[in-house]
Amino acid sequence: MNRKSKGTRYADKEKAQVLAFVEKTNAENGRGGITAASKKFGITPLTISNWIKRSGVTSARGARSNVDFASNLRRLADIHASISKKEAELLKLQREYSALKKKL
C-alpha cells in the first residue's frame, strides 16, 4: 500500500515567528511579506496564507486595508481642495501686491 506523507508540522512558536516576519515585512514595504517569508523559511506561500487566515490577522489586501485606502483617498482629496483654495488666495494677494507696488 502506497501512502502519501502528511508533510511537515510546525509548532505554534514557529508559526508565530513566520507570521511576525510577514507582518514586519508588509509594514515596512507595504506588501511582499508572504513571498519573503516563503523564501526565508522554506514554507510554501499557500501554507503561510492559510496560517494568516486562521490567525485572523488582516492581510495587506484585507478589508482593513481597503478602509485605510478609502480614508486616505478622502483625506488626499480634502488636502488637494485646500491647496487649490490657498493657491487662488495667494494669486489674488500677489496681484494686489503687484498693483500696489506699481503705484509707489
The per-residue pLDDT for range 26-67, each reduced to its tens digit, is: 888 888 889 999 999 999 999 988 888 887 755 545 545 556
Residue 19 lies in a domain: yes
Give the chain's domain count.
Answer: 2
Residue 3 lies in a domain: no
Cα separation, 70 vs 67, whole angstroms: 5
Helix (H) or strand (E) holding 96: helix 63-103
pLDDT of residue 1: 47
Is residue 87 within 8 Å of residue 95, measured between CB atoms? no
One domain for residues 23 and 44:
yes
Q: Phi and psi dihedrals of 41, rounded to 5? A: -100, -5
One domain for residues 18 and 52:
yes
Residue 43 lies in a domain: yes
One domain for residues 54 and 77:
no
At 2, is the pLDDT very low, low, confident or very high (cuts 50, 70, 90)? low
Domain around 20: 10-59
Residue 82 lies in a domain: yes
Residue 98 lies in a domain: yes
Residue 1 lies in a domain: no
One domain for residues 20 and 37:
yes
Residue 5 lies in a domain: no
Name the pTM for this structure. 0.50
